Amino acid sequence: MPFNGVGVLRKIDMFFNIIVPFYIVTFECDDKEVIANFLRKVVECYPPTGEMKRIALKYGKETKEVMSMGAVIEFFGILELFRDNR
């Protein structure tokens, strides 16, 4: 993504937070489940970035819970968990 002034890790965050979910829904609506499932697998397997880890640690400190993540999808789960428990 050629966003001038945006670092590589921020581009990765934007890719997983905005672009991938958009395309998953788009491909689901167009009955292209194979592509949507592939994108879901990418999210399930890609390791979390440093920024995602920092956010999870912040939430963990607020609630005194130990947070560990092996993939981006787990990061989204942690965010959802804390959103629901506030």
Q: Kindly tell me if the per-residue pLDDT of 63 is higher than 70.
A: no
Q: Give domain status of residue 70, yes or no.
A: yes
Contact predicate 46/72, CB 8 Å? yes
Q: Kindly tell me if the per-residue pLDDT of 66 is higher than 70.
A: no
**Rounded to whole angstroms, how far apart are CA atoms 36 and 86?**
31
pLDDT band at residue 2 using 50, 70 and 90 as cut-offs: low
Q: Is 64 helix (H, G, I), strand (E, B) or coil?
A: coil
* Count of positions (residues) in the chain: 86
- What is the pLDDT at residue 51? 72
Q: Give domain status of residue 3, yes or no.
A: no
pLDDT band at residue 3 using 50, 70 and 90 as cut-offs: low
CA–centroid distance for 39 within its chain: 12
Domain containing residue 35: 8-84
The two tokens of residue 51 are 């920024």
- What is the pLDDT at residue 29? 94
Indicate the pTM of the whole model: 0.63
The better pLDDT of the pair 30, 71 is held by 30
Q: Give domain status of residue 51, yes or no.
A: yes
Our count of domains for the chain comes to 1
Q: Is 3 helix (H, G, I), strand (E, B) or coil?
A: coil
